[in-house]
Structure formats: C-alpha cells, structure tokens
Structure 1
Amino acid sequence: MRTEGRKAPDAGSPWDEIIPLLWMGGHYYRNPEGTRVPAVAGGGFDLVVSLYLREGHGPSGDVEHQCVEIPDGPLTAAQIEAVCQTAESVVESIRSGRRVLVRCHSGYNRSGLVIAQALVHLGYSTKDAIFLVRYRRSKWALNNSLFVDYLNTGLDVARLLTGLES
C-alpha cells in the first residue's frame, strides 16, 4: 500500500548505490526517454529486500529474496520491529561482503527507512543517514515525514510508543 498525495516523480534510475555494497531502488523508474519502465532485479545482487511486491520484477532464482511488506504510511509496532530486523539483516549481509538491494514501489520511503536504519547500525548519525539516502538516491527520498520522525525518535523508541497505542 502506498500513501498517495506526495506527488514525487518516478526516479531516473532503477536503483542507486548509497554506500559500497548497499543499493536503494524501486519497482519502476523513468528511462532517459521519459517512459515509465519496470525495474527488474536480475542477478546483480546477492540479496534483494522487497518492501513492496510486484510479480515479474525479480530477482532471479539464484538470488536470496527477503519480502517484508510494509505500508508507506503509519506503521504498527510489529511493522517497526520488522523494519529493525530487516535493517539488521542488511547490515549482516554488507559486513559479509554481499551486494544488497533494498527496494519498494518508487524507491523513496520504505526502502529509505530500512536503509537509513541500516546506516545508523553501521555508525552513521541519523542526520547523516537521512542526508546520504537523499543525496545518493533522490531529493524525494524519505519524503514521508512520519518515517523521518520514526528515525529521529529512534526506531526502538518509536516501536515502544506505537505499541502503547494498541
């Protein structure tokens, strides 16, 4: 599920390298001719994390594929926990020298949340992690202000606070 209304344009590339071995992308992008095309993850990665699923977008059968569907909107405590676990998995893969792609529908918010959290686990400040995601992927990355609030609060605290509402 995507939250409509932020009017972010499609990315100009299927995915972008955020730091060595860590890529961020979506399921669609605009090619140089301006046509919206599917971004199909083939065999160029060791791990593909999909936060949004679309049939026919890969990865190929020999690539590890983790599917963690979360909405591009308010998250439950369980969904925030899934983001934390996914970010930890991404970090473990990077530390093992594996090429990782984290992707969602447009490659801006859900993938940005997981990647920013992974960068925090790797020692980046939250501010630097958010900056790096936006600088390397797009100024439209993390345009979901709620996700930025989660990161600034700290996902562990955000999970606990969200759990109080249940």
Structure 2
Amino acid sequence: MSERLQPGDDAPEFELPDADGKPVSLASLRGKRVILYFYPAAMTPGCTKESVDFQSSLADLEAAGVAVVGVSPDEPAKLAKFREKEGLTFPLLSDPDAGILKAYGAYGEKKLYGKVVVGVIRSTFLIDAEGKIDKAYYNVKATGHVDRLRRDLTL
C-alpha cells in the first residue's frame, strides 16, 4: 500500500472514466473544493448507504462550493446501473486497475470479517480549491460518515 496522504499534501492528479465513459480529471474541478470518496463496490449495502447519504447532502454541499466525486474499481456500465438505480447525480468514476486508489492510499490490506484481505479501503478526502489535501479520512464507516463530513465542514 502507498503512504497515506496528509493535510497539505498535493492531491494526486487523475483522469478516470465516469459512468458514461467520459473522462473526468481532478484538474477539471480546480477552483472548487472536492469531496473525493473511495468505496469498494457499487450496489452493495454499505456503499449504497454511503452514496445515497452523499446524494441527500448534495444540495448543501454544492451550495457551500463543494463538489462530490465517488471512485470504485467497478466498470462504467456497473456504475451507470448504480447511478440510475439510486438516483445519484454526482460523478462516479471507474478505477479498475486501482491506480488512483493506490495513489491516495485507499487500496491495500484491510480486515474483512476478521480476515486480512487486499482491497479498497473506504476513504474520503477533502481537497481544497488549489488541489491540496485539506482532510484525509481512512477506514471510514459507510453509515454516519457524511454526517461527520458535514460537521467538519460546518454545514
């Protein structure tokens, strides 16, 4: 696993396909704050809860100048089904080779039901308008995570 990012670090640049296969880059979001969250798999209970929570808070986040972007190793077609099923209106990006997940330290060993496995480490980053890490949250819980972010952002 790569090293964990810290506040003040440059956010690793990326360009990944969204659910429609269109490229989305961090550079294209420059000028606004970005919540970049990494989740293990679309259409699983925890990831659905987390994504729906982000959607429920999207209006408040956008009003505060914060964009939301989700990243998983799922292929764009699965992300499109997830988006449609759950009514998600923010970008969901596909990172099947886990290159960006690894760059953010969001892929590696973790415990799953008491066993050590290698996979996506549920993580979220608040990136400032200049592309620096403002906050880094690793090993977050799907439930209650968005509420914690809202508190930290004073929304």
Q: TM-score surpassing 0.5?
A: no
The alignment's TM-score, normalised by the length of structure 2, stands at 0.29
Q: Higher helix proportion, which one? A: 1
Q: Higher strand proportion, which one? A: 2
Looking at both structures, which has the greater relative contact order when contacts are Cα pairs under 8 Å and sequence separation is at least 6? 2
The alignment's TM-score, normalised by the length of structure 1, stands at 0.28
